[in-house]
Structure 1
Amino acid sequence: TWQIYNPIRLMHSACIQNLFVAGTDTTSITVEWAMAELIRHPDIMKQAQEELDAIVGRERLVSESDLPRLTFLSAIIKETFRLHPSTPLSLPRMATEECEVAGYCIPKGTELLVNVWGIARDPALWPDPLEFRPARFLPGGSHADVDVKGGDFGLIPFGAGRRICAGLSWGIRMVAVTTATLVHSFDWELPAGQTPDMEERFSLLLQLAVPLMVHPVPRLLPSAYQIA
């Protein structure tokens, strides 16, 4: 029995490990982009901190249970996923039959990649697409009802359909909790006169070409940082 099922168990463990590593990489990349944008836009950073102070206070760290009430933070996360998708191209898909897409004939057997990065910067879908503008996702904003879960094809950082990213829910929560914790717990300082370098480095993942280097300054009560 062990000889029959052990390879399956090993394959299952390897699959979980690969998902975890991939999820960790994409999460850290997205959080780095979010922090770079917030540092570049101190007014948006201040608004996010004010929301966190009002909901969480300064006596404890933010928790996952706080997320549903953090409306502005949610808008920041959506805008980060839009402007800086960690995977700029979808996984390859193959056309099982000849079809037509937007007037183009796609022969059977053609491998296709969806340009997630390009779609989210299409000015026909997104006014001022290169601007970091979380307000577009707030109630009353131009894209208030748009989410990142594959139902709105103008914003598909996790893909869509049957092969949507298996770690979607986990990834969104981790990005939101990590970004909220960093924004809430610290003010962030750059060397005098410097701003984050927003040049992109394209590969399988979309990363900052120059890693973000900043200095954190605690802003909560000292007791908030104590680990029980």
Structure 2
Amino acid sequence: MTELLQNPVSMSKVCNELAGIIDSGRNIEESQIGQLPYLQAVIKESFRLHPPAPFLLPRQAETATKVTGYTIPKDARVLINIWGMGRDANIWSEPEKFVPERFLAKTVDFNGGDFGLIPFGAGRRICPGMPLAIRMVHLVLGSLLNHFKWKLPADVERNGVDMAEKFGVTLIKAVPLCAIATQI
């Protein structure tokens, strides 16, 4: 929601998509998520920039191996920094910008098939709550955008939104978002 409030063009695109498919003020159904490609792109871009957890569960090397020129010794614990992967200029053009359109041209899923976007992990250690989380995030964000018109308070608009994040087991905003909702 924070990224959308700071990017009015993206906000209007997703709201227009919702109004065209669902009709403003109506409830979004789970079966309609597949008909909302821009909403899906917004969620993917949000997970790229702000993954639920900054690191995946630790992995342990079974044998000594080399990865991109680095030697990982046997039994070493390895942490995968997905927060850093989402901001890697070698993978993403303009990695610090919120650009949902980057996900419209290519098929990227959360299931670990595309290592550029793995907010829930991959393989045997993928988050077991991922299917529920993905459904709920789409339904909640879609419902919030379809039922309310959103804007930032005047002082936040003037001073800008503090985008600092608090790193821990999960990743949260250091300063909670303050926004004004007006029912449609």
Percent identity at matched positions?
Answer: 46
- Structure 1 gaps, min length 5: 1-34, 220-228
- Say whether 1:117 aligns with 2:79: no
CA distance in 2, matches of 1:70, 1:145: 14
CA distance in 2, matches of 1:201, 1:110: 27
> Which runs of 4 or more aligned residues in structure 1 lie more than 4 Å from their structure 2 counterparts after TM superposition?
none
What is residue 151 of structure 1 aligned with on the other side? 113
Q: What TM-score does the superposition give when structure 2 sets the normalisation length?
A: 0.94
- Say whether 1:167 aligns with 2:132: no
Q: What is the CA RMSD across the aligned residues, in angstroms?
A: 1.2
Higher helix share: 1
How many residues align? The count is 181
Describe the SS at the equivalent of 2:54.
coil
Change beyond 3 A, Cα 1:59–1:159: closer
Report how far residue 184 of structure 1 moved. 1.0
Per-residue Cα deviation, 1:137-190 (whole angstroms, up to 9, x for no partner)? 11xx3xx12222201111111111121111121111111111111111111132
- Structure 2 gaps, min length 5: none
What is residue 101 of structure 2 aligned with on the other side? 135
Name which of 68, 78, 82 aligns with 2:44: 78
**TM alignment of 1:189-200, pairs within 5 A:** 189-194=151-156, 195-200=160-165
CA contact (8 A) 1:78 1:137 kept: yes
What is residue 148 of structure 2 aligned with on the other side? 186
What is residue 177 of structure 2 aligned with on the other side? 212
Structure 2 letter corresponding to 1:83? L
CA distance in 2, matches of 1:57, 1:172: 22
Larger Rg: 1
- Say whether 1:65 aligns with 2:53: no
